Each structure stands twice: as structure tokens, then as C-alpha cells.
């Protein structure tokens, strides 16, 4: 590794607020298989195995954080929230914030096809970087680093609007816990044609649980489902 490349990697270390004991772990994490295929003489390994490990480590850290933050969430809600938090798009966004694309080693063909900006490659590289930290310092240190660089988890009151399909989640909850399904009924339409407001009533087991309103029936149903789901999870239903 030449001096210039090492300096580039040190810049990423500063953004991560972590200093590698073995800088070659980070170099491997940033090496795509296409680069190895075109540069076998470089003596490097690609990051595919590290992606696999990093995905597992990230999942464990996120699961740990979710369990502590959302004490009222069911296993199903925790799983859906974790899946949303670690999917390709947010990981790629974080990779861009860390400028990983600029220093990712790609083959010429992959690079000219826009590989440095592809969500999939960026997300995979970030997972590999997480694995590199884990291999360098273990789980506890990795967890500390991730807690600092990941976007904060939303408050429980906001989680259903940011991460979950409320209507699907409510239906699953009702089927599993209450052995019934929610029923939505349009009760009112108001306002001029260009700005109508729809009001929907939500019943569960013939009990009016919530109402919702919005510029469309879908929006009104979603609002009612969100309110009902929050109430059920908080144990406020009678």
C-alpha cells in the first residue's frame, strides 16, 4: 500500500472516529471483486466475505438498539423496523456521507458504469467496513462506532409513520392477537372537489376504535390504522 492510499484510508478513519490497528482490513473492505479480477497482481482480497460478516454484525447491533428503545414492540414490529433500518437505501446514504464511493476500488468496467454511485455497491462496502472494525476490535467497540454514525432511531410515537406499513401491521396484530381483522368505513366527505377531505372510521370486532382523515381514503385509513396501532401497543384499549 503506497503512502497516498494510506492517507486516503486515514481520512475515512477520521470520519469513522476509529483508528485501525490493521489498516489492511479496511483496504480489503473497500476492494470490490471487479478490481481483483482486473488486477490479480495487486495481491488483495475482495470484500464479499466481509460483506457477509458485516451484515450479521450490523443486524445484531440494530437488534440490540431496537430491543432497548422499543420495549412495547412485538417481534414482528421489531423485525420490520430492523429490516427498514438496515436496507440498502439508508446504508448507501450513510456510505455517501462517509464518502466511501470515492475510495472504493473497482474494476474499470464497473467504474465507468457508475459503480461508485450504485446503492448496492455502496451498501455492501459499508457492511464490509463494519466487518473490518469488528475484526479489528470486536463487537463492543463496533457497537459504539455504529451508535455514533448511524442516524438516530425515531421516537416510538413516530416509528409507525417512518418505518412501517401501519395497515399491514395492524391487520397482522389483529389476526394474531384478537383473531379478527380491522374494518374501514368511509363516514364523511367534505370540502370542494379540488380539496376534498375524507374521514374514515376504523372498527375492530364491531368496536369503533379510531377515525382518520386525509386528502384520500388511503391516507385517512393509514392515519386511523396508525392511531389504532399505537393505542393497542400501549394497552389502552378496553
Q: Do 187 and 199 contact (CB within 8 A), yes or no?
A: yes
* Three-class DSSP category at 191: coil
Instruction: Please say if 156 is a catalytic residue.
Output: no
- Whether 155 is a known active-site residue: answer no
The packing angle between helices 88-97 and 119-137, to 10°, is 70
Residues comprising the chain, all counted? 238
Which of 27, 46, 55, 110 is labelled catalytic?
Answer: 55
- Strand duo 197-204 + 183-190: pairing: antiparallel
Q: Contact at 8 Å (CB) between 98 and 122?
A: no
Q: How far apart are CA 88 and CA 74, in angstroms?
A: 24
Among candidate residues 46, 51, 110, 127, the one labeled active-site is: 127
- For the chain, what is the largest distance between any 2 Cα atoms, rounded to a whole number of angstroms? 71
Catalytically active residues are 55, 127
Amino acid at each position: 500500500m503506497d503512502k497516498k492510499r494510506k492517507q486516503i484510508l486515514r481520512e475515512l478513519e477520521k470520519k469513522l472516529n476509529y483508528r485501525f490497528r490493521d489498516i489492511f482490513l479496511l483496504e480489503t473492505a473497500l476492494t470490490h471483486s471487479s478490481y481483483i479480477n482486473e488486477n490479480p497482481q495487486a495481491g488483495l482480497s475482495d470484500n464479499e466475505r466481509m460483506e457477509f460478516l458485516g451484515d450479521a454484525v450490523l443486524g445484531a447491533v440494530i437488534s440490540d438498539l431496537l430491543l432497548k428503545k422499543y420495549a412495547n414492540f412485538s417481534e414482528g414490529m421489531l423485525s420490520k423496523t430492523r429490516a427498514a433500518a438496515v436496507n440498502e437505501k439508508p446504508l448507501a446514504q450513510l456510505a455517501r456521507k462517509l464518502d466511501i464511493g470515492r475510495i472504493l476500488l473497482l474494476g474499470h468496467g464497473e467504474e465507468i458504469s457508475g459503480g461508485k454511485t450504485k446503492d448496492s455497491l455502496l451498501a455492501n462496502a459499508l457492511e464490509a467496513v463494519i466487518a473490518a472494525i469488528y475484526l479489528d476490535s470486536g463487537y463492543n467497540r463496533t457497537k459504539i462506532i455504529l451508535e455514533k454514525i448511524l442516524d438516530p432511531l425515531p421516537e416510538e410515537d413516530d416509528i409507525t409513520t417512518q418505518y412501517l406499513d401501519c395497515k399491514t401491521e395492524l391487520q397482522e396484530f389483529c389476526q394474531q392477537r384478537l383473531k379478527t381483522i380491522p374494518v374501514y368505513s368511509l363516514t364523511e366527505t367534505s370540502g370542494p372537489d379540488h380539496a376534498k377531505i375524507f374521514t374514515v372510521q376504523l372498527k375492530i370486532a364491531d368496536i369503533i376504535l379510531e377515525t382518520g382523515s386525509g386528502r384520500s381514503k388511503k391516507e385517512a385509513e393509514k392515519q386511523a390504522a396508525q392511531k389504532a396501532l399505537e393505542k393497542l401497543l400501549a394497552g389502552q384499549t378496553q
